[in-house]
Amino acid sequence: MKRSAYFISDGTGITAETLGQSLLAQFENITFSKFTRPYIDSVEKARAMVQQINTAAEVDGERPIIFDTIVDREIRDVLAQCNGFMIDIFASFLAPLEQELSSRSSYSVGKAHSIGQNSNYAERISAVNFALDNDDGARTQHYDKADLILVGVSRCGKTPTCLYMALQYGIRAANYPLTEDDMERLQLPAALTPYKKKLFGLSIDPDRLTAIRNERKPNSRYASFAQCEFEVREVEGLFRRENIPHINSTHFSVEEISAKILVEQGVERRLK
C-alpha cells in the first residue's frame, strides 16, 4: 500500500516535515511518498497545492496525509478544502498554549527558522567555521575555545558529527584523528592532554570502517580489515585506559551520536 504525504508550510517547512516524518515513521508497513512544500504563503499557491493533492489522491486511490503549519487562517482554509487527511499542527496546539500563557500568539509566518528569531544564528555559523577550521587535527591552538573535541580513528564519523552539532546547536566541536603514530606510543597526543575533559571518543566496528575506507582508498593498506581492526582495538584500549567517554558510532545517526554526546558530557544545546 502506498500513500502520499505532504509537509506544507508558509515558511521553510522544517517543522511540518520533522513532525510528519516522526509520526509516519510509526507506520512501518506503509510506504509513503513524501513531499515538502515550503513558502505556500498566498491563496493562489494554496489553490495550486489543493490541485496537486487532489491529483495525488486520484492516482493513489487514497487521500494523502497533510501536515501543515500554515499560520494565515485564509490560506489554511483554502488548503483545508483539499481531498487530504489534515493534521493541522498549529491549530491543535496554539489555542491551548495561548490559554496557558495568558498571551496571544503573534500568528506571524516563518518565525521558527528565521535569522531574526535566532539570536544564536551568528553563533551557529561561527560554530560551523570553527568545526571546519579545527577539523581533522588541522589546528590545535584553538582547543581552549572548543566545547568538545571528538577523537577517534580516521573515517569513524567525527567530521559529520561536529558539523551537525555546530549547524544545529551552535556547539563548537573540534576533532582530532588518532593515527598509527599515536597508537604505537599508546598515549594521548600531547596536543590533547590539556583538554582531557573536553574529549569524547568515537569508535566503530572494524568491518564497517573497512567498508567506508574502501570507498575512499580502495584496496589500500589503510582500508584493509587487519589495519582497521588494529586501529579500532588500540583506540578503544586508549579510551578505556584514559577514561575517555566514548560510543560506538556504527549503528547511530549523527543526530543520535550528537544527542548522546551532549547528554554524557553535560553540554547544553545553544537554543535561541
Cell (9 digits) for 178: 588518532
| Minimum separation from the CB atom of position 185 to its own copies (A) | 29
Work out how close the CB of 35 gets to its own copies at its nearest, in angstroms, rounded to a whole number.
7
d(CA 84, CA 54): 7
Q: Which residue, 226 or 271, is less far from its own copies as judged by CB?
A: 271
Q: Are 86 and 35 in contact (CB under 8 A)?
A: no
Considering only residues 44 to 83 of the shown chain, the ones binding its own copies according to CB under 8 A are 65, 69, 71
- By the rule CB under 8 A, 141 interacts with its own copies: no
Cell of 25: 515513521
Amino acid at 196: K
Q: Judged by CB under 8 A, does residue 200 bind its own copies? A: no
Rounded to 5 degrees, what angle do the CA atoms 243, 160, 203 make? Answer: 30
> Which residue among 48, 95, 112, 138 contacts its own copies (CB under 8 A)?
112
* 110 belongs to the binding site for its own copies (CB under 8 A): yes
- Kindly state whether residue 153 participates in binding its own copies, applying the rule CB under 8 A: no
Specify the stretch interacting with its own copies by CB under 8 A; choose among 48-56, 94-102, 181-189, 222-230. 94-102
Other C-beta atoms within 10 Å of 164: how many? Answer: 18
Distances (CA, A) of 269 to 9, 16, 147, 171: 26, 22, 11, 7
Decide if residue 91 touches its own copies (CB under 8 A): no
Q: How far is the CB of 43 from its own copies (least distance, A)?
A: 18
For its own copies, the binding residue among 52, 54, 105, 179 (CB under 8 A) is 105
State the nearest-atom distance from the C-beta of 129 to its own copies, in Å. Answer: 8
Q: Cβ closer to its own copies: 160 or 189?
A: 160
Number of residues that bind its own copies (CB under 8 A): 76
What lies within 8 Å, CB to CB, of 179 at 6+ separation is 154
Task: Find where cell 563548537 sits.
Answer: 172
CA–CA distance, 26 with 179 (Å, rounded to integer): 41
Q: Edge-to-edge strands of the sheet including 246-248?
A: 173-177, 148-152, 199-203, 246-248
d(CA 161, CA 249): 10
Q: Does 103 bind its own copies (CB under 8 A)?
A: yes
Instruction: Report d(CA 159, CA 127) in Å as an integer.
Output: 13
CB of residue 193 vs its own copies: minimum separation in angstroms? Answer: 28
CB of 74 or CB of 264, closer to its own copies: 264
Kindly tell me which of 54 and 234 has the beta carbon lying closer to its own copies: 54
Q: Is 87 in the site for its own copies (CB under 8 A)?
A: yes
